[in-house]
Chain A
Amino acid sequence: MSHVTKFAARDPGPAARMTGFVAHLRDNGLRLGVSETGVALEALTHINSANPSETRRALKTVFTGCAEEAAQFDGLFDSYWMNGGRVTTRVMPKAKPSLNENVHSSRDAKADADTSGGAGDISAPDGGEGAAQSDGEGKLVATDVSNLFKKDLRSIVRPEDIAEAEKVALRLGASLRDRRSRRRKAARKGDQIHFRKVMRQSLATGGEPIALPKRRRPDRTLRITAICDVSGSMTVYSQVFLAFLAGLMRADTRADAYLFHTRLVRITEALRDKDALRALSRLSLLADGYGGGSNIGGSLDRFSRTYGRRFVDNRTVVLILSDGYDTGSPEGISNALNRLKKRGCKIIWLNPLKGWDGYEPIANAMAQALPYLDLFRAANTLGDLASLEPELARL
């Protein structure tokens, strides 16, 4: 901490060091453009830049843009400027090796789909055996053992399925369109007089307002935030749901998606990848622990405290895809849902088990969640999801 980095003698000067620092920040996920470097250098001329704590404060103000970045910044500053310069003080950082060769997938998408024997038909859960298996006693009990080996999601979802899911997602998105905006725009039929137009038009008639243009509130789209359970008990259905999520992301640029098993992972960025296959590879990297135990309460709680505060408002529909078999305490779920509900969103829970004859939401978690749900429906195939359309329109 107390040692200021010693830069090499051939180092060209402060500007280059600052560039190196910005590159260091970018490597660590801060989104910075070229102009920030300029602003930072200018800022340093206004303070005593020989004083590390002043410089730290100044650069923090310039380079960070949200609370998370601000929290991260001190560590990054130390590692670049204060560390004796062993690790990350290179002015020209080399390109980071990608985490996995598969990320830059250049292989034949077709061949891959063919070899992925596990992929069944998208319109039904993974064959009859899967459902039969889950009929047995041991299978539906939630476990809290994380599944540590990575499962390749590409063997579960095929790219073709995504195209189909995309269509369904588009239709669902369209049915969620109606929520009145609070601003008013000129319209042929409206509830208020558009005074500005009245004035302009009445000029021609000597101040006599003959035509009365109207304005009204236009309709605005709701945003979908989907949270998908990929724990062990959901394995047979996750194929459908993941395809749906992938389709949703591609159809609606404002949608948001999360996975959870024992942890919560945001997958929006990964699924936005233009290459559907690569999107899935990235997803597999994120979703280690796939098919393990489930911690619905904990995950929803984390969601409502972190992402929920930023991305959920009264124009959001939160779509939870889960069977409600939980290892955590049921109060966790109801508290989290309560907190989400207070943000003014709609909550829809799609439970694959609800489609079974004689299903009662007696799983403790599910029973606790019920009072907070705007819609509780069965869905285990894409067809089911598609048939939700009229119900969503009514929300």
Chain B
Amino acid sequence: MTWTTLQTAMAEQGYIASGDLAMALHLSLTLGRPLLLEGAAGVGKTEVARVLASVHDTQLIRLQCYEGLDAAQSIYEWNYQRQLLAIRAASEDGETGKTVEARIFSDEFLLERPLLKAIRQDKAPVLLIDEIDRADEEFEAYLLEILSEFQVTIPEIGTITAKTRPIVILTANGTRDLSDALRRRCLYAHVPYPDLETELSILVSRYPDISDRLCAQIVGFVQSLRKQDLEKKPGIAEMLDFAGALMGLGVADLTGDPALLQAILTTLLKTQADKDAVPTEIAQRLAGKAA
């Protein structure tokens, strides 16, 4: 598969990837390296993994990172309740300590978490490590070990080596700076807000029966809105919500009803400050320019 066929395959699944992104994904697949995607919230980083999984017809395993995430929640955990019960039952049956120990620290009592699960699949899954910058530095160190060796060491069992190498995608949107070690281990692609043509084709692929005029208006409007000084710029998901709302309300022209447009803006602007920054006059001016 070359990068252009990958791009087309993704387009068939409804994801319009830019050339840079398709190339990065292609290389990540052929070289077997993790891919780090960075970009503002709402540009479709997480969606890449989902689409990639369906292109490869494989499972998507997702690890959502947050502050305080640790090995117990990301790699594995023992099922303590079952272990306790098993020990009690064993002592009544008169089992010896050694055999009990071997039994309760076996696969049966192991709770797989995403990272361990990802390396134990028969068919290489897509492993999405979402918002890695939200996890703290210690977790990055764990992750580095797994990403370089593709193996997990459990003291009671031993080292588990990957059956298949998962396709690893990491996403970040700049909550904190990632370590150089992690960046070096990964291929990198920066996902910007889409340009006019890309966004048009995204909109058309999601809403095939939208009129050309409204489509151009919506995308033009959202693109010029992103150029405004906003706290939270509207992403692609917001643009699609906006389009959905317009379609649902049967609006055929953005400049038609200023009050209605202002009301629908809630799908694009998510803070009070941003709403204040785009009063009716500005919204009308932007809509007028886009028309």
Contact = CB atoms under 8 A, between A and B. Distances in A.
Interface of A: 31, 33, 35-36, 39, 42-43, 46-48, 53-54, 57-58, 60-62, 64-67, 70, 181-184, 195-196, 198-199, 202-204, 206-207, 209, 309-311, 313
A184 B96 CA distance: 33
Nearest to B38: A67
B186 to A, nearest CB: 8
A199 B31 contact: no
B136 interface: yes
B91 to A, nearest CB: 4
A61 B174 contact: no
Contacts of A47: 2-3, 23, 26-27
A181 B186 CA distance: 28
Given A46-B31, A47-B23, A65-B186, 15 more contacts: A36-B184, A43-B27, A43-B30, A46-B26, A53-B19, A54-B3, A57-B3, A64-B188, A66-B183, A182-B68, A199-B104, A202-B87, A206-B97, A310-B176, A311-B177
Interface residues of B, number: 44
B108 interface: no
Given A42-B31, A46-B31, A65 B180 contact: yes
A54 B84 contact: no
A196 B78 contact: yes
Contacts of B184: 31, 33, 35-36, 65
Nearest to B229: A335
A46 B27 contact: yes
B147 interface: no
B88 A62 contact: no
Interface of B: 2-3, 19-20, 23-24, 26-28, 30-31, 33, 36, 38, 67-68, 70, 78, 80, 83-84, 86-88, 90-91, 97, 100-101, 104, 136, 138, 174-177, 180, 183-184, 186-190
A207 B87 contact: yes
- Give 6 closest A-B pairs by Cβ, nearest first: A182-B68, A207-B87, A57-B23, A65-B183, A206-B91, A61-B24
27 contacts: A35-B184, A42-B31, A46-B27, A47-B3, A47-B23, A54-B3, A57-B19, A61-B187, A61-B188, A65-B183, A65-B186, A65-B188, A66-B188, A70-B189, A70-B190, A182-B67, A182-B68, A196-B80, A199-B83, A199-B104, A204-B97, A206-B87, A206-B91, A207-B86, A207-B88, A207-B90, A313-B176
Nearest to B67: A182
Which of B23, B136, B183 counts the most A-chain CB atoms under 10 A from its CB?
Answer: B23
Given A43-B31, A62-B27, A310-B174, A67 B190 contact: yes
Contacts of A62: 27, 187
Nearest to B85: A207
Given A43-B27, A54-B23, A67-B38, A199 B78 contact: yes
A203 B101 CA distance: 7
Given A181-B68, A206-B91, A207-B91, A198 B80 contact: yes
B88 to A, nearest CB: 4
A387 to B, nearest CB: 32
